[in-house]
Chain A
Amino acid sequence: GDSVTQMEGPVTLSEEAFLTINCTYTATGYPSLFWYVQYPGEGLQLLLKATKADDKGSNKGFEATYRKETTSFHLEKGSVQVSDSAVYFCALSSNDYKLSFGAGTTVTVRA
């Protein structure tokens, strides 16, 4: 079945550091890939998405590229801020449109 493997956290960074969260997936067919973010005390919200190979999703300075050859969708941001402290979830949906989530990565950015 479909599955998502995500880099384990927690991750602690200083402001302006570079952030990478690795995400790989296993799926049948051609899944869509997502990154969701959960800020402290808030619900999940979509951060970015990519629906086909080589697509790059981007939002709020974050980027992720759909790599079919490596079945990956790594999240990156070049210069993090304290406000980026959150839990990040990689997810995929296949033909039935059900979402499968990774375990989540807690990121803490210190001033």
Chain B
Amino acid sequence: SAVISQKPSRDICQRGTSLTIQCQVDSQVTMMFWYRQQPGQSLTLIATANQGSEATYESGFVIDKFPISRPNLTFSTLTVSNMSPEDSSIYLCSTRAGLDTGELFFGEGSRLTVL
């Protein structure tokens, strides 16, 4: 199993600002995933982050709004840029349990509230 730590666990942000969420895994992993969970909603995949290459974004998400870094095999960041109240969500970092499975391990999430 993998233990995933996220920072911050929660934050209150002002409209128009940007916030970077950090994700640390206790082991080296190939792929890391960033999900968004809007209030009362299910999880939506934002992007897949591979070390040494550009992140792959899902439909409806763009790099200018959600830039992602993946500098090494244990760490990734997601920035939520130019925030609006609609960005108020829980953002979750995850990684796969193995190469040939869809099972994921998740961090505890970062709950952002945008005023």
Contact = CB atoms under 8 A, between A and B. Distances in A.
Given A43-B92, A43-B109, A44-B92, A34 B103 contact: yes
B96 interface: yes
Contacts of B4: 43
B32 to A, nearest CB: 13
Contact of B103 (A31, A49, A89, A102): A49
Interface stretch (A18-26, A62-70, A71-79, A90-98): A90-98
Contact of A102 (B42, B102, B106, B107): B42
Secondary structure type dominating chain A contacts? strand
B87 interface: no
A99 B45 contact: yes
B102 A32 contact: yes
A101 B36 CA distance: 12
A92 B102 contact: yes
Interface string A95-111: 00111011110000000
Interface of B: 4, 41-43, 45, 92, 96-97, 100-109
11 contacts: A31-B102, A32-B101, A44-B43, A44-B92, A46-B104, A46-B105, A51-B101, A93-B103, A97-B101, A99-B43, A99-B102
